[in-house]
Amino acid sequence: MVELPAFMPVGTQGTVKGLTVEQVRATGAQMVLANTYHLALRPGEDVVRQLGGLHAFMGWDGPVLTDSGGFQIFSLAQRTQVTDDGAVFQSHIDGRRLEVTPERAVEIQETLGSDIAMVLDHVVKLPNSPDAIREACQRTVAWARRSQNAARRLDQTQFAIVQGGLSPELRQACAEQLVALQFDGYAIGGLSVGETSAEMYSTLEATCPYLPANAPRYLMGVGRPQDLLEAIQRGVDLFDCVMPTRNGRNALAFTDQGPLRLRNKQFQEDHRSLDVDCPCPACQHSLGYLRHLFIADEMLGPILLSAHNLTYYQRLLVGAREAIIADRYLAYKREKLSGWGPAQ
């Protein structure tokens, strides 16, 4: 059981950076994400299978979602060739050739043993030409159909991914074609890749109405707290992003008063904690101590702030779920947005 809306910590290579699974669980996380492309390269999906599958490999007994490698088509574009058959990557580790087709992405994920497998999709940067976006959209639908036909495990759920850039017409068409294939869930991909927040929100408004209300809607790779709340209002259920842990490693803490940059000297003798109501280990210490850890380059600093930021995100989503049940979500969103100020 995963209560929605929910935020998934990103464990790209089978680990949420800097945290043990017990620490991740203590943040309130219900489900985590791992990445097919990275695990296929290192240590290899067969090694993971030999070590008991992804859950045993990580030591995580909750649900795991694996991305298909579609985002790497975008992020490693200079190393990637895409055809209608699939994508050919040059490994960022050792330069060796890695071919990923929709069928191969399914095979890797079935070998890893995740609970939710994402179909392979084609992500392109924004802005882009209408022809490039339309071609990627059509390829994504074709790959989704092939992924569905390739699935063999009955204990693994498949989510399709809606593409279409910022075009409401393409988003609608892509969503309708994927819904006709009757997947268990639907992701909204190809956002947070260069567009403005307003463009992202309008794209969600153009997409979510065409996705089933009784299937999870997953906004991939979007993670600013305000974006989560805006997306929930527009019908999104599930999120992932490296933002809480990446920012935590770089001394930025999320709070109800906005983000705090703890390397700033103003916190040197600050006795306050980040949040007196937060149960995370970072909030057992003073801001002055947390700043000291980063200035002294102690590894405990990134660990503590990663735990805090993930806990903050989970508490934010708990609040959203409670507000939805109480029919006061818009008021909850306004309260949070009014408290978040510019970074200090």
Strands 157-162, 116-118: pairing kind? parallel
Active site residue 115: no
Position 13 in a domain: no
81 with 173, same domain: the answer is yes
- Segments forming the whole domain that contains residue 167: 31-241
Same domain? For 128 and 215 the reply is yes
**Contact call for residues 79 and 92 (beta carbons, < 8 A):** yes
| 37, part of any domain | yes
- Reported as a single tens digit per residue, the pLDDT across 8-18 is 999 999 999 99
Indicate the residue among 216, 241, 266 that finishes a domain. Answer: 241
What mean pLDDT, rounded, does the chain reach? 95
Q: Are residues 254 and 188 in the same domain?
A: no
189 shares its domain with 329 = no
The one catalytic residue among 67, 121, 237, 275: 67
Distance CA 307, CA 292 (A): 17
pTM: 0.95
Domain membership flag for residue 25 = no
Residue 344's pLDDT is 39
User: Is there a domain that residue 1 lies in?
Assistant: no
- What pLDDT sits at residue 342? 54
Q: Is residue 81 part of a domain?
A: yes
pLDDT at 193: 87
So what's the pLDDT on residue 76?
74
The predicted-structure confidence for 30-46, as pLDDT tens digits, reads as follows 999 999 989 999 999 99
Number of neighbours of residue 271 by Cβ within 10 angstroms = 8
* Neighbour-count burial of 82, counting CB atoms closer than 10 A to its CB (0-12 exposed, 13-18 middle, 19+ buried): middle
Secondary structure class of 276 (helix, strand, coil): coil
Based on the domain organization, do 255 and 140 belong to the same domain?
no
The pLDDT of residue 78 is 73
Please check whether residue 133 is in contact with residue 170, taking contact to mean a CB–CB distance below 8 angstroms.
yes
- Of 207, 241, 275, which marks where a domain is finished? 241
Q: In this predicted model, what pLDDT tens digit does every residue of 58-111 receive, in sequence order?
A: 999 999 999 987 777 667 767 788 999 998 888 888 888 888 899 999 999 999
Which residues, at least 6 apart from 135, have a Cβ–Cβ distance to it below 8 Å? 122
**Can you give the CATH number for the domain in which 145 is found?**
3.20.20.105
Of 98, 2, 4, 1, the residue nearest 317 (C-alpha):
4
Pair 51, 195 in one domain? yes
User: Are residues 125 and 108 in contact, defined by beta-carbon separation less than 8 angstroms?
Assistant: no
Q: Please, what is the angle between helix 329-339 and helix 300-325, to 10°?
A: 150
Distance CA 294, CA 308 (A): 15
- Any catalytic annotation for residue 131? no
Q: What is the mean pLDDT of residues 210-225?
A: 96
21 part of a folded domain: no
Question: Are the C-beta atoms of 277 and 319 separated by less than 8 Å?
Answer: no
My answer on whether 77 and 201 are in the same domain is: yes
Residue 270, classified by CB atoms within 10 Å of its CB into exposed (0-12), middle (13-18) or buried (19+), is middle
Are residues 304 and 198 part of one domain? Answer: no
111-130 pLDDT, tens digit per residue, is 999 999 999 999 888 889 99
Alpha-carbon Rg for the chain, nearest whole angstrom, is 20
Residue pLDDT, tens place only, 167-186 = 999 999 999 999 999 999 99
The pLDDT of residue 220 is above 80: yes
343 — pLDDT class (breaks 50, 70, 90): very low
- Point out the catalytic residue in the list 121, 227, 237, 240: 240
Do both 262 and 217 map to the same domain? Answer: no
CA-based diameter of the chain, in Å?
61
Is 11 within a domain? Answer: no
Count the domains in the chain: 2
Distance between CA atoms of 265 and 223, rounded to whole angstroms? 28
For residue 299, which phi and psi values (nearest 5 degrees)?
-65, -20
DSSP state of 266: G
Mean pLDDT of the 329-335 span: 97
* C-alpha span between 126 and 115 (Å, rounded): 31
Q: What pLDDT digit, counting tens, does each position of 152-172 carry?
A: 999 999 999 999 999 999 999
Per-residue pLDDT reduced to its tens digit, 244-293: 999 999 999 999 999 999 999 999 999 999 999 999 999 999 999 999 99
Whether 228 and 258 map to the same domain: the answer is no
Q: 245: closest CA among 13, 32, 16?
A: 16
Do residues 267 and 260 touch, judged by C-beta distance below 8 A? yes
Amino acid at 7: F
Of 209, 224, 241, which residue is a domain's last? 241
Q: What are the backbone dihedrals phi and psi of residue 329, each rounded to the nearest 5 degrees, phi first?
A: -65, -45
Q: What is the pLDDT of residue 80?
A: 83
Q: Does any domain span residue 35?
A: yes
Instruction: Please give the distance of CA 57 from its chain centroid, rounded to a whole number.
Output: 20
Distance of CA 159 to CAs 83, 100, 115, 120, 174, Å?
22, 18, 11, 10, 14
Kindly state whether residues 316 and 284 are assigned to the same domain: yes
Judgement on whether residues 259 and 314 belong to the same structural domain of the protein: yes
